[in-house]
Structure 1
Amino acid sequence: MTNPFIDLLAQKGTLLADGATGTNLFNMGLMSGDAPELWNTDEPAKITTLYKGAVDAGSDLFLTNSFGANASRLKLHGAEKRVHELARVSAELARNVADKAERKVIVAGSVGPTGEIMEPVGTLSHALAVEMFHEAADGLKAGGADIGWLETISAPEEYRAAAEGFALAGLPWCGTMSFDTAGRTMMGLTSEGMVDMVDGLENAPLAFGANCGTGASDLLRTVLGFAAKDPARPIIAKGNAGIPKYHDGHIHYDGTPELMGDYAVMARDCGASVIGGCCGTMPAHLAVMRDRLDSTEKGEAPSLDQIVAALGDFSSAGDGTGEDVAPKRERRGRRRS
């Protein structure tokens, strides 16, 4: 299968993805509790600024402002009938930015979780989940997205439903999960388990990996878990810019651009070939990540001890598999600030 994403990855070897959506939009005035997707039609200039921030910082691909564009989430804002429209417009704005860039830039249509728990634990049926994902994916495709981009998923059942939704829309896709619970997803999946799940999908993603979670250290340990399985597909790493801190009524992330530059290089050494940031990652972080990836040769995979020294402690003793227990040690070297 040929696709602009696959072609660019083959050409460059490593792709820099974008950073945060929410963090950047909050800095532009989005209020807590508001639906960012409504800004696609209400504040298109600000969404264009969001996209241009990533492209101008050097990103090879960026995600659309459509993370919550599904009927379940938009129902909370009385906009459940606008899923296709808001997804489509998010991609149209992105397509315009990408097409004006002086280099090839990939538009990745962001698709987040439904916010509901699937059967048999919850009430969301597989068929309804597939249709929710299909509706979003179809809107993104209509708007000109090169690929779909599933992110922050916890349940294997929801990941599988999304794969079917992308297939119905005829949109190639990538998909990440969030390993934020002692090295596992909230629903208990390990890094090894994700590789096995992806391999078994009929409509498998072009690339897979991890995003968000806790800190950058934890995410790299997950990437090492992926790489240990020698997967057939490229690995994605989109870690948060440090650890969230509550200050003056707002959440701030303590990762500096320099720390994220270290993270980007180490993510590549761990085995990731699509590297970006998640919560807290701003254009200033991306610019340093771009420079470090361009100016540093790929090296050997770091040890857990080296990850801790560069990026800070892990949030749990192990990666969820019972192996690779994090070293008990004091931090040294560059600290977060």
Structure 2
Amino acid sequence: MTNLLTTLLSTHDVLLADGATGTNLFNAGLMSGDAPEMWNDEHPEKIIDLYNGAIQSGSDIFLTNSFGANAARLKLHDAANQAHRLSRIAAEIARDLADKADRKIVVAGSVGPTGEIMEPVGSLTHALAVEMFHETADGLKAGGADVAWLETISAPEEYRAAAEGFKLAGIDWCGTMSFDTAGRTMMGVTSTDLVKLVSEIPNPPIAFGANCGTGASDLLRTVQGFAAEHPARPIIAKGNAGIPKYVDGHIHYDGTPELMADYAAMARDSGARIVGGCCGTTPAHLVAMREALDTRPRGDTPSLDEIVEALGAFSSDSDGTGDDAAEPRARRGGRRRRG
């Protein structure tokens, strides 16, 4: 049966996804080091507010509060056995709100990385990774998610394991990587590499792309790298709201709603069919992005100079595909959460 996301992609030129999870939950009182997924159970009213922020801002897709709901990450909070239950609750809350909305909205079950390094570089086996992704995806499906939404992935091995886990759960999916190392992921994947990976895996995503990373400028350069390969599947762009800055003991993102409006239109014109925000993106940003996508006429692909003029400088000279690109780094864990 065709899922809702595929249906909306067939009837809409571009879809607006949601914004940050972590940023908005920290604004609601989440403390650094706490597991946001525990709030699905302990503070469901805060999760309802999070989801409603995206719905009321005009998002066509919003992600569940389940980014770290896998056994490896929850083990750090003595809750490894809660992955399925917390994923299910995250999706149940979302499903109820989406069903009450006055338009069709996709509930996308957020699935983040395990936080472990896979073999042969690390110790996480393919079989165990598949099992963890399967458990999370099965919980999201049980709660009513329309699709699973893999995000902030760095390693192709983990992307493949997730695809296998989603197949076992019987749920369609989307998948993004984070290109935060001079145009590459931490494990050395380029935009071209991801297009090739998506075309080859047995259970490919509905749509693929990039999320998080550094600033919005870098993400659009990566999106243009995807588009240059003429992929068969829709491209996702979920960029951060500017650059993170440490102010008075907290991380703040300097991207204004006006900047994110420009980003949204430029992401669409760069080839993205699904446009959203990641870290730092609040409902105020989403409102501006919605208006930009609805009112600004489609234009030509923006040049790199135009991107820099509108959104700020790139964080590196390299787009990750040249000889000067950074070497992959084996680093344990990665960022705790999206947004």
Bucket of the pairwise TM-score, normalised by the shorter protein: over 0.9
What SS does the aligned partner of 1:150 have?
Answer: strand
| Cα distance between partner residues in 1 of 2:295 and 2:172 | 31
1:284 maps to 284
What SS does the aligned partner of 1:226 have?
Answer: helix
Q: Deviations over 1:267-312 (max 9, x none)?
A: 0000001000000000000000000100011111001010000000
1:309 corresponds to 2:302: no
> What's the offset of the Cα at 1:318?
1.6
Higher relative contact order (CA 8 A, sep 6+): 2
| Cα distance between partner residues in 2 of 1:244 and 1:186 | 18
Partner letter of residue 309 of structure 2? Answer: A
2:16 maps to 16
1:104 maps to 104
Runs of 4+ in 1 over 3 A off after TM superposition: none
What SS does the aligned partner of 2:237 have?
Answer: strand
1:322 maps to 322
Partner letter of residue 81 of structure 2? Answer: K
TM-score (norm 2): 0.95
Q: Deviations over 1:104-131 (max 9, x none)?
A: 0000000000000000110000000000
What SS does the aligned partner of 1:269 have?
Answer: helix
> What's the offset of the Cα at 1:2?
2.1
1:300 corresponds to 2:300: yes
> What's the offset of the Cα at 1:324?
12
> What's the offset of the Cα at 1:171?
0.4
Q: Deviations over 1:12-49 (max 9, x none)?
A: 12100000000000000000000000000000000000
What SS does the aligned partner of 1:322 have?
Answer: coil
1:141 corresponds to 2:138: no
2:73 maps to 73
Q: Structure 2: which 5+ residue stretches go unaligned?
A: 326-339
2:41 maps to 41
1:166 corresponds to 2:166: yes
1:86 corresponds to 2:56: no
Instruction: Report the RMSD for the aligned CA atoms in angstroms.
Output: 1.1
CA 60–323 in structure 1, closer or farther in 2 if over 3 Å, else same: farther
TM-score (norm 1): 0.95
> What's the offset of the Cα at 1:9?
1.4
2:204 maps to 204
| Cα distance between partner residues in 1 of 2:320 and 2:146 | 34
1:241 maps to 241
2:213 maps to 213
2:227 maps to 227
| Cα distance between partner residues in 1 of 2:271 and 2:37 | 33
Partner letter of residue 200 of structure 2? Answer: G
2:6 maps to 6
> What's the offset of the Cα at 1:323?
8.5
1:59 maps to 59
CA 277–229 in structure 1, closer or farther in 2 if over 3 Å, else same: same
What SS does the aligned partner of 1:238 have?
Answer: strand
2:254 maps to 254
Partner letter of residue 228 of structure 1? Answer: A
Percent same amino acid at aligned positions? 74
Partner letter of residue 256 of structure 1? Answer: T
Q: Deviations over 1:88-113 (max 9, x none)?
A: 00000000111111000000000000
Q: Deviations over 1:181-226 (max 9, x none)?
A: 0000000000000000010010000000000000000000000000
What SS does the aligned partner of 1:273 have?
Answer: strand
Partner letter of residue 148 of structure 2? Answer: G
Partner letter of residue 107 of structure 2? Answer: V
1:154 maps to 154
Equivalenced residue count is 325
Partner letter of residue 310 of structure 1? Answer: A
Partner letter of residue 43 of structure 2? Answer: E
Partner letter of residue 119 of structure 1? Answer: E
> What's the offset of the Cα at 1:11?
1.1
2:330 maps to none
What SS does the aligned partner of 2:159 have?
Answer: helix
| Cα distance between partner residues in 2 of 1:3 and 1:200 | 22
Q: Deviations over 1:131-187 (max 9, x none)?
A: 000000000000000000000000000000000000000000000000000000000
Matches within 5 A, 1:179-194: 179-194=179-194
Partner letter of residue 184 of structure 2? Answer: R
